[in-house]
Structure 1
Amino acid sequence: MLLAIDAGNTNVVFAVHDGTEWRGRWRIATRADRTSDEYAVWLLTLMQHSGLKPSDVTRCVIGTVVPAALYNLRRLCRDWFGTEPLVARSILDWGFEIKVDQPQEVGADRLLNALAAHHHYRGPLVVIDFGTATTFDVVDEEGSYLGGVIAPGINLSIEALHRAAARLPRIGIGRPQSAIGRNTVSAMQSGIFWGYVGMVEGIVARIREEAETPKIKVIATGGLAPLLAEGTTQIERIDLDITLEGLRLLASRNPAPISAKDLL
């Protein structure tokens, strides 16, 4: 079985795929100082609840945008699952061209999203990921990665608004009943929700114009994707597993790294 690890700025998601389906998904808050043993105590307990053993895992693949977390995630794979993990990097075989100025600067999550989106939905398309940052990634008809857009994430914007304005409270995100807020909280919710809907529609329109492809598909992922999709017709499909699928597909395209036990 394959253990896929998606380490983002906010959460680390672990998932096990048995070759046919995902057998379990678990997430934990991202902390760069979390040790491999801490990960193991937590993860192995959850795997056991799903009827999985460490020996069931024969391969590991890691995608991370948090370099400081990589060391302990690697140690987890080596010490507790006896495998050398494949780490998602631009130098691997992705099956498509990365047509940007500095491919090594592109976040692994963005390339993984592009890989899975093209595999499942074909291009041309835009993948919007509502994560810590809100990213738009553009894939052409052949599956090549063309670049994209990075904007502040929704929760990041809410927190910045609260911290920077003395009288504005910290709010939860939700779809407001009307655009015109009748109090401070509803006015803030309207600004966040409709502001991001407007950003999605505006950026997608500009991408379509630049790419000269009016029929470009729009796929959304991230925890807030279902909520934001309620406010716009631009988002055609929601796929919350797209990054994990990208890890699975990347592992299938690239040979397993040689581990220390294989050299004995």
Structure 2
Amino acid sequence: MSWVLMDIGNSRCKLVITSEDRYQVLGKRDWDNQEFAETHWLQNLSLMEQRHTDIQAILIASVASDEIKDKIKTFCQEVFSITPEFLVSRDLYASAKKDLTNSYDKPKALGVDRWLAMVAGLERQIGSDTANQPFAVFDAGTAITLDMVDKEGRHLGGHIVPGIHLMQKSLFGDTGKIAYGAKLDFEPADSSQWLGQNSLQAVELGTYQAAAGYLQVCLEQLVAKYQVKKLYVCGGDGAGLMAKVALPEELDWQDCPELVFEGLYYQHLNG
């Protein structure tokens, strides 16, 4: 038997099929949300249903509105004849060997993608030689988030800052002269450049440096202040940013693009 895991963001849906017995990717697909148009979503879901006929559960991570969730629920019921479960952040996640506790006064207010990434991080810690050490999760997507968990499994808190593309969108959308300059000369930067020679390049390179600079400070603080030795990295820009910073020698990091899916699996598995 298998489960459908879905991570629905602001612009795209990512879907994974996993075995019920253990987290194991049996199939995957992603698509643009296209404002949750019915025909578009039914086509994409039907393709997965045709390839995997033993679906028993549909688990979803999404911060969409209740109206959008109702649409997705209807799509899933039509294609799979299953009502999906929308997972939420909790005050406590209890694994077999260690608990994860939420630092927020109102646990559900913590973004579910952040929470599930920490759930997955905890499970990875349990199965490693750093089981009794603190860890952190760095997710560089539309927003950049950082979350810290101590050796007792307590979430200490985190950061939310604009992602690279969100910073670029803000500059081009809210500053007319920059947008005008980018339209006049739209030659993108190449990989050898550090300084932009037109407005488009200046924004591209500058926002990337801003994100990398933030990450560098975070890595230094995680090691010096919290003695973190393990960092789990996800999000489309995560691994690229890690390649641009000076990594403290005490810190080990793993590129984990499916971290939220792993969290979906474990939270459902452990109730």
C-alpha distance in 2, partners of 1:172/1:39? 35
Q: Which moved more, 1:181-190 or 1:218-227?
A: 181-190
C-alpha distance in 2, partners of 1:207/1:154? 22
Preserved CA contact (<8 Å) 1:115 1:143? no
Q: Which moved more, 1:133-142 or 1:85-94?
A: 85-94
Superposition pairs of residues 121-160 of structure 1, within 5 angstroms: 121=125, 122=131, 123-160=133-170
- What is the match of residue 112 of structure 2? 108
Q: Which moved more, 1:162-171 or 1:122-131?
A: 162-171
Deviation at 1:153, TM superposition (A): 1.3
Task: Give a deviation string over 1:163-205, Cα, whole Å, max 9, x none.
Answer: 2332342779877424333444443332122211101112333
**TM-score of the superposed pair, with normalisation by structure 2:** 0.80
Task: Give a deviation string over 1:83-137, Cα, whole Å, max 9, x none.
Answer: 3322211348622211222212101100000000121135512211111111111
- What is the match of residue 30 of structure 1? 33
C-alpha distance in 1, partners of 2:154/2:198? 47
- What is the match of residue 231 of structure 1? 244
Q: Which moved more, 1:189-198 or 1:72-81?
A: 72-81
Distance 1:206 1:92, change over 3 A: closer
Task: Give a deviation string over 1:20-65, Cα, whole Å, max 9, x none.
Answer: 4211111122355433x642222212453xx323xx1001111111
Deviation at 1:12, TM superposition (A): 1.2
C-alpha distance in 2, partners of 1:197/1:175? 17
C-alpha distance in 1, partners of 2:27/2:81? 20
C-alpha distance in 2, partners of 1:240/1:10? 17
- What is the match of residue 58 of structure 1? 56
Preserved CA contact (<8 Å) 1:32 1:69? no
- What is the match of residue 218 of structure 1? 231
Counterpart of 1:236 in 2: which secondary structure? Answer: strand
C-alpha distance in 1, partners of 2:188/2:138? 18
Counterpart of 2:261 in 1: which secondary structure? Answer: helix
- What is the match of residue 204 of structure 2? 189
Distance 1:92 1:39, change over 3 A: farther
Counterpart of 1:58 in 2: which secondary structure? Answer: strand
Superposition pairs of residues 153-192 of structure 1, within 5 angstroms: 153-165=163-175, 166=177, 167-169=180-182, 176-192=191-207
Structure 1: gaps (5+ residues) = 255-264
- What is the match of residue 220 of structure 2? 205
Q: 2:259 aligns with which of 233, 237, 242?
A: 242
**TM-score of the superposed pair, with normalisation by structure 1:** 0.82
Distance 1:94 1:76, change over 3 A: farther
Matched, 1:74 2:73: yes
Distance 1:188 1:162, change over 3 A: same
Distance 1:172 1:237, change over 3 A: farther
User: What's the C-alpha RMSD, in Å, of the aligned pairs?
Assistant: 2.6
Distance 1:33 1:183, change over 3 A: closer
- What is the match of residue 7 of structure 2? 6
C-alpha distance in 2, partners of 1:181/1:39? 40
C-alpha distance in 2, partners of 1:155/1:197? 13
Preserved CA contact (<8 Å) 2:187 2:200? no
Q: Which moved more, 1:87-96 or 1:16-25?
A: 87-96
Letter in 2 for 1:116: A
Letter in 2 for 1:163: G
C-alpha distance in 2, partners of 1:26/1:193? 28
Counterpart of 1:231 in 2: which secondary structure? Answer: coil
